[in-house]
Amino acid sequence: MIKNLYLSTRFFYGIAGVICLFLAAYLFPILLLPAKVGLAIFILFTIVDIFLLFRIKNACKAERICPEKLSNGDLNKLSLKISNQYPFDVQTQLIDEIPFQFQERDILYNLPLESGEEKVTHYELRPTARGEYNFGKLHVFVSTLLGLIKRRYSFPEEKTIPVYPSFIQMQKYELLAFSNQLQEYGLKKIRRIGHSMEFEQIRDYVVGDDYRHINWKATPRRNQLMVNQFTEEKSQPIYAIIDKGRVMKMPFEGLSLLDYAINAALVISNIAVKKGDKAGLITFADKMGHFVKAQSQVSQIRNIQEILYNVDTNYLETNYANLFATLRAKLNRRSLLLLFTNFETLTALRRQLPYFRRINKHHLLVVVLFENTELHELTHKPASTIERIYIKTIAEKFAFEKKLIVKELQMHGIQAILTIPEDLTVNTINKYLELKARGMI
Q: Quick one: 135 and 267 in the same domain? A: no
The DSSP element (H or E) to which 280 belongs, if any, is strand 278-284
Q: Kindly report, residue by residue over 266-317, the tens digit of the pLDDT.
A: 999 999 998 889 999 999 999 999 999 999 888 999 999 999 999 988 778 8
The DSSP element (H or E) to which 356 belongs, if any, is helix 346-362
How many of the other CB atoms lie within 10 Å of CB of 441? 17
The DSSP element (H or E) to which 426 belongs, if any, is helix 424-437
**CA atoms of 430 and 34, how far apart (whole Å):** 81
**What is the pLDDT at residue 180?**
47
Single-letter amino acid, residue 347: T
Q: Quick one: 285 and 431 in the same domain? A: yes
CATH number at residue 114: 2.60.40.10
**CA atoms of 197 and 127, how far apart (whole Å):** 43
DSSP 100: G
Q: Quick one: 143 and 181 in the same domain? A: no
**CA atoms of 412 and 360, how far apart (whole Å):** 9
The fraction of the chain above a pLDDT of 90, given in percent, is: 54
Q: Quick one: 212 and 250 in the same domain? A: no
**CA atoms of 177 and 396, how far apart (whole Å):** 35
**What is the pLDDT at residue 375?**
73
**What is the pLDDT at residue 194?**
46
Q: Kindly report, residue by residue over 49-62, the tens digit of the pLDDT.
A: 999 999 888 899 99
Q: Are 246 and 367 in contact (CB under 8 A)?
A: no
* Residue whose C-alpha is closest to residue 119's, from 60, 163, 178: 60
Beta bridge partners of 199: 230
Boundary-marking domain end, from 164, 182, 211 = 164
Distances (CA, A) of 344 to 253, 257, 285, 394, 395: 19, 13, 17, 13, 12
Q: Quick one: 28 and 96 in the same domain? A: yes
**CA atoms of 170 and 273, how far apart (whole Å):** 12
**CA atoms of 435 and 441, how far apart (whole Å):** 7
Boundary-marking domain end, from 232, 253, 282 = 232
- Long-range CB contacts (< 8 A, 24+ apart) of 250-258? 250/342, 250/370, 252/370, 252/373, 252/420, 252/421, 252/422, 253/421, 253/422, 254/73, 254/126, 254/128, 255/72, 255/73, 255/128, 255/421, 256/313, 257/342, 257/370, 257/421, 258/311, 258/312, 258/313
Q: Quick one: 340 and 240 in the same domain? A: yes
* Residue whose C-alpha is closest to residue 6's, from 157, 143, 156: 143
Q: Quick one: 223 and 240 in the same domain? A: no
Domain count, the chain: 3
- Name the pTM for this structure: 0.80
Q: Are 228 and 216 in contact (CB under 8 A)?
A: no
Q: Which residues of the chain have pLDDT under 50?
A: 180-182, 184, 191-196
Antiparallel, parallel or unpaired: β 149-155 and 138-143? antiparallel
Q: Quick one: 207 and 346 in the same domain? A: no
**CA atoms of 441 and 436, how far apart (whole Å):** 6
**In sequence order, what are the residues at sequence separation of 6 or more whose Cβ sits closer than 8 angstroms to the Cβ of residue 165?**
71, 72, 130, 259, 262, 263, 265, 266, 305, 308, 309
Q: Quick one: 305 and 211 in the same domain? A: no
**What is the pLDDT at residue 2?**
66
* Residue whose C-alpha is closest to residue 127's, from 168, 171, 75: 75
Q: Quick one: 133 and 259 in the same domain? A: no
Torsion angle (degrees, nearest 10) of CA 333, 336, 337, 343: 140
**What is the pLDDT at residue 193?**
44
Q: Are 334 and 364 in contact (CB under 8 A)?
A: yes
CATH number at residue 341: 3.40.50.410
Name the residue range of residue 153's domain. 1-164
**What is the pLDDT at residue 382?**
78
Q: Quick one: 355 and 242 in the same domain? A: yes
DSSP 148: S
Q: Write the Ramachandran bin of 345: left for phi over 0, alpha for psi from -120 to 50, otherwise beta.
A: beta
Q: Quick one: 121 and 152 in the same domain? A: yes
The DSSP element (H or E) to which 441 belongs, if any, is none
Give the CA angle between residues 365, 370, 375 to the nearest 5°.
150
